[in-house]
Each structure stands twice: as structure tokens, then as C-alpha cells.
Amino acid sequence: MSHTIRSDPFCYRRIHSHFSSSSSSSSSGIVLRFRNRLNGLTLRGCFDSNHSSAAAAEADNKAGALAPQRVRYLDIGFAGEGCTDSRLVNGRGSNQRGNPLGFTHNPLPEKFVVAVDVDEVLGNFVSALNRFIADRYSMNHSVSEYHVYEFFKIWNCSRDEADNRVHEFFKTPYFKTGIHPLPGAQMALHKLSRFCSLSVVTSRQNIIKDHTIEWLEKYYPGLFQEIHFGNHFALDGASKPKSEICRSLGAKVLIDDNPRYAIECAEVGIRVLLFDYENSYPWSKMQSADQHPLVTKVHNWEEVEQQLGSWVVS
């Protein structure tokens, strides 16, 4: 039976590395697989770890030459004990060792680092969740009822029951296919990517990492350098504060709809664009957040683009 140990369960970068180990196997074989979801190309190369390092390097170079460079995944499976699983995607469209593709070896100007939330900023999570709750539990809610982003207070149930309902939602088509991009987000992020280094910092749980990655690839392909998961409100596993993740990224700005995260990050010196889409998010209207000097309220992606542009040139 195989088991996996993750060195950093919170972060993905744009080259995906997966290490799995087997406690019962004495084999030392290594399998490399490159996969591109855009054109279905699959390349598999196998070699034994007893081979020379030169042979391994040659196999790696051939794989790198054949694999598509825009969206590329590297899955590495180790058979043997003591291995770790690290899922990392290296950003800026580069391979593991090279420079960003399409650029010379000259140093690139440092970009403005921006962290971006997912739910209610990139996609309409609560609307999809409300449809599930209505059909599954015969409880009708609208976004306008969510004066706080704590579902148990809206649904009049225990915190544990609310967490269980959300995890049930994760298994349904309401979640898997029912969340769509917010208007203007895709176009604005494409423009911002010219002068900003964009990374996702979400409170989403580890259990939905894979689907989140797929959703971001579908609707926001190639835009994000790294994807970090806070694992908040999870049934198991440790969580990580957004402020800690943002500081590790060197983020200058966080775009988020939750005032609690806004204040948390502002208190450590990170500017926050508090996203209240078309003034329709009741939970975003916390007075203490609005009054913080590092928190700026925005109501759509055009305002996000304008505000970031003004900060970059100032």
C-alpha cells in the first residue's frame, strides 16, 4: 500500500511535481510523465535510479524539449521509503531550470507581487452553494443574507454541521461545474499580468486542491505564478494564515472579499483591495476594515485594475 508525505501541502507552482512512496516495495525505479491538458500529449520515460546521473539528465532534457512549455506538468513517482510528496508549479511559463520562455538572459524588471483570492473574487462560490443548499436541504438563501462569511450563522446550525454540508457540496456538480468567473476578472488579470506577478492565496481546503487547480487552468490559464491553500474550515489538517502566506510571497497587495483577512494582512503592512462586487456582498461591509488606511474598497475588476495601476506608478 502506498503512502504520501507532503513537504508543503499549502502551495502549488506552475510545474507540478508529485512524489509517492511505497512502504512495502524495495524497488528504486523512477517514472517521469509529462502531460499537457490542452493537446493531450503524454510522454512517459522510465529509468532505474541505479543508472548514471548523466543518463537521468539526458532523459530529463529530452522530456523538457518535447513537453509543451506554456502549461506543463511533471509527475515524478518514487518507489521506496522515505520519499516526500511536494506539489509545486514553477511560474512565469518557465521550465525548472531555464529563464522565462520567450525572453533573453537579461535580468527582467521585478514585477509588483499581488495575491488574489478565489471565492467571490474570481468565482461565484456562494451562489453555487446556495443552489446546492436549496435542493439538498430545502433552505433558500440569497447572497444578500450573508452578513458574515460564516455559514453556520446563516443556516442556523452548528459550525460542524455547516462544515459537513460544505464538504458534501464539494462532491456535487453544483461545486464542480456550477462556479463561474466573475465579470471582468479574466480581462483585467490579463492586463495586470503585464506588470504584476499574480499568485492565488485562497482559504480553500486541501481536499479540493486538484479541482481548484483545474478550474483555474480552465478559466485563468497561465495567469498565476503560484497557488496557495490556507486549508481553513477543513475537517482535517492544519491551516495557514493568509497573512503568513502573503508575506512568504513578498506580496505587496491582497485582493480579497473577506474583511477579516483584509485586516489581518493590513496589520502586517500589506495593502488590501477589499472586493465587494457591485456593492452586493454584505459580509464585506465591516466598518473597521473600511477605516484601515491600508484597505481600499473596490466594487468590480475595472476598479481593481485602475487602483493597482496607480500604485505601481506611484
Give the Cβ contact number of residue 311 at 10 Å.
Answer: 16
Q: Where is average pLDDT lowest: 31-35, 201-205, 248-252?
A: 31-35
Instruction: Tell if the pTM clears 0.75, that is, is over it.
Output: no
C-alpha 45/C-alpha 264 separation (Å) is: 46
Residues whose CB is less than 8 angstroms from the CB of residue 295 and which lie 6 or more positions away in sequence, other chains included: 262, 263, 266, 271, 272, 274, 289
**What are the residue ranges spanned by the domains of the chain?**
2-78, 112-123+182-313, 125-176
Residues whose CB is less than 8 angstroms from the CB of residue 292 and which lie 6 or more positions away in sequence, other chains included: 262, 263, 266, 272
The DSSP bridge pattern shows strands 196-202 and 226-229 to be: parallel
- Annotated catalytic residue within 85, 117, 257, 276: 117
- Annotated catalytic residue within 85, 119, 256, 276: 119
C-alpha 292/C-alpha 117 separation (Å) is: 19
Express each pLDDT in 107-151 by its tens digit.
Answer: 446 899 999 999 999 999 999 999 999 999 999 999 999 999 999
Q: Is 119 a catalytic residue?
A: yes
Q: What φ, ψ does residue 220 adopt, rounded to 5°?
A: -135, 55
Q: Is 85 a catalytic residue?
A: no
CATH of 112-123+182-313 among 3.40.50.970, 3.20.20.10, 3.40.50.1000, 3.40.50.720? 3.40.50.1000
Task: Record the cell numbers describing residue 299, joined without a space.
Answer: 466594487
Bigger pLDDT: 53 or 187?
A: 187
C-alpha 307/C-alpha 302 separation (Å) is: 9
